[in-house]
């Protein structure tokens, strides 16, 4: 394996397939998670259904409730702020 940092999975990352697109969901900080495509070049689905799927994927992987979210990197990344207090699932 060659030494490319972007090919190394982040700690806690999970790979999912959403609408036929391979998406990696991973923590950025304790209260923020991100979703992006495996190739980091594909634009994520920005429809109401696509956003709901990404939010649910992050909630499922993190065990926390998404309180806010937005797209970054020209739509190639989806960032979500989380509420991880017990009972907020």
Facing residues of 27 across strands?
33
Using CB atoms within 10 A of its CB, is residue 29 exposed (0-12), middle (13-18) or buried (19+)? exposed
Residue 55 CB partners (closer than 8 Å, separation 6+): 66, 69, 80
Where does residue 55 rank: exposed (0-12), middle (13-18), buried (19+ CB within 10 A)? middle
Residues 4-62 have pLDDT tens digits of 333 345 678 999 887 777 889 999 998 999 999 888 888 888 889 889 889 988 998 89
Instruction: Tell me which residue has tokens 């634009």.
Output: 43
């Amino acid at each position: 394996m060659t030494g490319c940092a972007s090919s190394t999975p982040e700690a806690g990352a999970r790979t999912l397939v959403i609408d036929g697109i391979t998406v990696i969901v991973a923590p950025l900080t304790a209260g923020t998670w991100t979703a992006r495509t495996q190739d980091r070049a594909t634009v994520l689905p920005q429809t109401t259904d696509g956003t709901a799927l990404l939010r649910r994927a992050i909630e499922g992987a993190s065990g926390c409730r998404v309180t806010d979210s937005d797209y970054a990197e020209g739509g190639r990344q989806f960032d979500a702020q989380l509420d991880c207090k017990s009972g907020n699932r």
